[in-house]
Amino acid sequence: MSKINCIGILTSGGDSPGMNAAIRAITRTAISKGFSVKGIYRGYEGLMHDDIEEFTTESVSNIIARGGTILKSARSKDFMTPEGKQLAYETLKKEGIDALVIIGGNGSLTGARDFAQMFDVPCIGLPGTIDNDLYGTDLTIGYDTTLNTIVDCVDKIRDTANSHERIFFVEVMGRDAGFLAQNSAIASGAEAAIIPEDSTDADQLEHFIGRGIRKSKNSSIVIVSESPKCGAMFYADRVKKEYPQYDVRVSILGHLQRGGSPSARDRILASRLGAGAIDAILDGQRNVMIGIRNDEVVYVPFTDAIRSDKEINKGLIRVLDELSI
C-alpha cells in the first residue's frame, strides 16, 4: 500500500448533530499526526465534481457546537454508477487524496464499501445517523441529540394532550429501526410505542387500545416510527374509525429532529470516533467503520456495519408496557 499523506473528509446522506464535531476531530487529529487534510463538500457529489478545499486547524474552529455539517451533504444517484465512481476516483488522484473518511449512515457506508472495492482506496467510515441503525456500534453520531429533541417535543405535546383529553400519535424518524421511538417513549412517559421490531402493526395498536385508558389518565401519547404505509396518520385514522369515542390528533415531528446543537454525549462520541478514524489509518486499517461498543472504540468491517439486523433490546418493550399502565 502506498504511503498516505493526504486525507479527504466528506459527509453524506441525512445530516446528524455531531457531524461537525467529527469533522473537527478528524481534521485536528490528522494534522497533529502529520497528514494534510482536504474537506469535500456535498458528499459524493462534491467528490465527483471536485468541490474540495484544503483544511487547516482554523477551518474547524468553533464548529463543535453547531448542528448540521459545514461540509454540506447530499444523496448522489450518479455516484452509484460505475461512471460516477470513476469520476470520483479521477478527482481523488487530481487532488492527491490518498484515503477517505466518510461520515454517514447505511447508504453512505455502502457507497464507501463499493468505491473501495472498485479502486482499492483506503476508506474509513464514521456512523453519522440519527437512526442508530448501524450494526456493530452501540451508538451513532446524532442519535442522543435527536432523542433529547423528541423528548422535549413530546413533553410539550403532553401539555395540550392533557388540556384537551386527547390521544396524540407522534411520528418520529428512524426509518426501519425503532430505537428513537422506543427510547423516546420510555423517556417521555408515553403510553405506547409502535415500532417495526415489535410484532405486527395491527397487534401493537390493538394491544394499546385493548388495555383501555385508565380513569386517572385524561390523555395518551403514542410514539410511532415513520413508515410510508403505516405512519402516525394511518393509526390515527384507524382509531377514529374503529373507536370514535376518542379525540385523536397527530403530530409529525419531521426534520426538526435533525437540527440543533449536539448534546455533550454526541460531541464526545464524535470526537472519539473522529480521532479513532485517524488511528485506524495509522494502524493500516481500511474499509472499516469506527464504532463504540461497551465504551471502547472498535473497528467494524463495512459489510458488517451495513447489515440490516441490528436488534433493539426487546426488554425495552416490556419496560414501556409495564410503566405505562
Question: What residues are labeled active site?
Answer: 131
Determine how many CB atoms are found less than 10 A away from the CB of residue 169. Answer: 26
Partners of 55 in the β-ladder:
37
- In contact, 22 and 106? CB cutoff 8 Å: no
Q: Which amino acid is at 51?
A: D
Cα–Cα distance, 154 to 170 (Å, whole number): 8
Cα–Cα distance, 131 to 313 (Å, whole number): 15
Cα–Cα distance, 25 to 31 (Å, whole number): 10
User: How would DSSP label each residue in 161-217?
Assistant: HHHHT-EEEEEE--TT--HHHHHHHHHHT-SEEE-TTSS-HHHHHHHHHHH---TT-
Contact residues for 9 (Cβ-Cβ < 8 A; gap 6+) = 23, 26, 27, 37, 38, 39, 40, 55, 71, 100, 101, 103
Phi, psi of 259 (to 5 degrees): -90, 180
Over the Cα atoms of the chain, what is R_g?
A: 22
